[in-house]
Amino acid sequence: MTRTLLLYHTLGCHLCESAEQLVAPLAAERGWQVESKEISGDDALIARYGVRIPVLHDPRTGRELGWPFDAGDVLALLR
């Protein structure tokens, strides 16, 4: 079963772009799927993540990783 991760972000966020560039190769190497979730159209997501984005969320465990993070942090999140 493919592991799916959610990357909460908003358009024009340079930190979000950096997070995506970090996570994409890790996901490709390990067969994970990363779904980008734009928060700007959802008041609940803005309230939860607005000052924390980018945030990587593992729906399987409910654990989250807020920026800044590196490859080691991502791998630790998924253990």
- Please name the residues in contact with 58: beta carbons below 8 A apart, sequence gap of 6 or more: 3, 5, 64, 77, 78
- What is residue 79's predicted lDDT score, i.e. its pLDDT? 85
Q: What pLDDT sits at residue 78?
A: 87
Angle CA 53–27–23, to nearest 5: 30
Give the residue numbers spanning the domain of 36. Answer: 4-77
Q: How far apart are CA 39 and CA 55, in angstroms?
A: 11
Nearest to 41 by CA among 15, 9, 17, 13: 9
CATH number at residue 67: 3.40.30.10
Q: What domain count does the chain have?
A: 1
Residue 77 reports pLDDT greater than 80: yes
- Which residues make beta-bridge pairs with 13? none
The answer, yes or no, to whether residue 1 has pLDDT greater than 80, is no
- What is the rounded distance in angstroms from the CA atom of residue 9 to the CA atom of residue 41? 11
pLDDT tens readout for residues 19-69? 999 999 999 999 999 999 999 999 999 999 999 999 999 999 999 999 999
- Is pTM beyond 0.85? Reply is yes
